[in-house]
Chain A
Amino acid sequence: MFKKLFFIGLILTFSSIFATSEDDLLNAYRILKKIGEYENKKKAILVFQKFPDRKRVIAMVVDLLTYNYDNPNFRENDQVAFYDDVIAEELVKILDKERLPSNFPAFLRIVLYSNRHREQTVKAAWQGIKNIDWTKE
């Protein structure tokens, strides 16, 4: 009886860790659109990393990188901008894992306008371009 209960508990635990709902995704997207809130954004990134519908996540990440993390006034000594760009780097890495040709424009913007990002983010974008599998649809 105890063994059974323990087993069910274990399953519930893991499912609660790994399963991410639609609401979680939308909430994470909303948080990532904001300026600042680094700690919340780190959690939001985790939701993006875990969400199973990758197409939706990729579309959101591309949208975020294009419209929310492309800061023409970026300065390394601006703490908020700096940590937002740390998030941008993580978003780039999410795209990198997919290796999709359709992600090229998002990477391209970052490498072309490199003064809007930290070196690490630019480097990650170059790596993303390099890793694209051009045979993928």
Chain B
Amino acid sequence: MKRAIFITILTFLMGSIFSQENVLGSFLSPNVPIEAIPKDLALPDNVLPFLKKEFNDSIGKKASFDVQFKIVLLITKITNVPSKKYDFLEEIITWDVRSYIKTEQKNIIVSPDARVLAINELVKSKDNKYIETLVNIIERDTSLHPRIAAAKALPLLGDVKGIVPKLVDLLRNQYGASRAKFKEEDTRRFEDDRVAQAIIETLGDIGDPRAFPVLLQTVMNPDRHRDETVKAAWEAMKKLKW
């Protein structure tokens, strides 16, 4: 009898100790390598409401740019076809433009890097309803890189011949072709000229001859642009499909 009680107590103690140790062995693992988002991550559209909530919450908060970039990165992992992600991406891309007040001072709300990533993902939709969105960014955004990304991504949205007059107009009036002499030390003008270069390259890719006059104006007035922009205009002229 005593022996049975002793064995019972012993079994109880051993069981308790081993069951805890097995689990607690995994607690501290100091040599886990740093890992970013798993490369084979595939998400459904179901995650969009959560991403939207976190995105809205991030607005105006400290270190929000980092969070916003990760959110867009997660959106790029959504694999549904068709997907509602493109409308949300459009919302992200145009966030700053929607709250745009024309002042000299830049007031950036959404991470420019996140917006560039969003633009590059948006064009994968190949839906030309977003052409106007990208043109809007080229025209009204205050950050350099989203404007360049929008200009370069335009031809990927399908048939964009319809927007050639608008691009020509932007190039002529907003981006330097009709402006005064270019000065590198003028930061804003320097940035604008980089956008001008991107627009010119896109006009070359589209190949519409209606772009010829503005390209000609650019090469005939090299003092209004950087050398790279003038070179791009020469290249674009070569690509026009007469």
Residues of A within 8 A of B (CB): 2, 5-6, 9-10, 12-14, 16-17, 42-43, 45-46, 49, 86, 90, 93, 101, 104-105, 108-109, 111-113, 115, 119-120, 123, 126-127, 129-130, 134
Q: How distant is the Cα of A111 from the Cα of B74 in the complex, in angstroms?
A: 10
| CA of A6 to CA of B4, assembled, Å | 6
B23 CB contacts on chain A under 8 angstroms: 45-46, 49
Kindly identify, within residues 1 to 25 of chain B, every residue whose CB is under 8 Å from any CB belonging to chain A. 1, 3-5, 7-8, 11-12, 15-16, 19-20, 23-24
B11 and A9 contact, CB distance less than 8 A: yes
A123 — which chain B residues lie within 8 A by C-beta?
32, 34-35
A45 CB to closest chain B CB (Å) equals 8
By the criterion CB–CB under 8 Å, are B1 and A13 in contact? no
Chain A residues, Cβ within 8 Å of B28: 86
Closest chain-A Cβ to B38's Cβ sits at a distance in Å of 5
Question: Is B180 interfacial (CB-CB < 8 Å)?
Answer: no
Contact surface of B with A, Cβ cutoff 8 Å = 1, 3-5, 7-8, 11-12, 15-16, 19-20, 23-24, 26-29, 32, 34-35, 37-38, 40-41, 43-44, 46-47, 50-51, 54, 63, 67, 70-71, 74
Shortest Cβ distance from A127 into B: residue: B38
Q: Give the secondary structure class of A's interface.
A: helix
Show 23 residue pairs from A and B whose CB-CB distance is below 8 angstroms, ordered by the A residue.
A2-B3, A2-B4, A5-B4, A6-B7, A9-B7, A9-B8, A10-B8, A13-B12, A17-B12, A42-B20, A45-B23, A46-B20, A46-B24, A49-B23, A90-B26, A93-B26, A104-B50, A108-B74, A112-B70, A112-B71, A123-B35, A127-B38, A129-B41
- B38 and A111: CB pair below 8 A? no
Give me 16 other A-B pairs in contact (C-beta within 8 A), A5-B4, A42-B27 excluded.
A9-B7, A9-B8, A13-B8, A13-B12, A45-B23, A46-B23, A46-B24, A49-B23, A86-B27, A109-B54, A112-B54, A112-B70, A112-B71, A119-B34, A126-B35, A130-B38
* Given A6-B4, A134-B44: A115 in contact with B38 (beta carbons within 8 A): no
Contact A5 B1 (CB under 8 A): yes
Specify which chain A residues have a CB less than 8 angstroms from the CB of B43 in the assembled complex: 129, 134
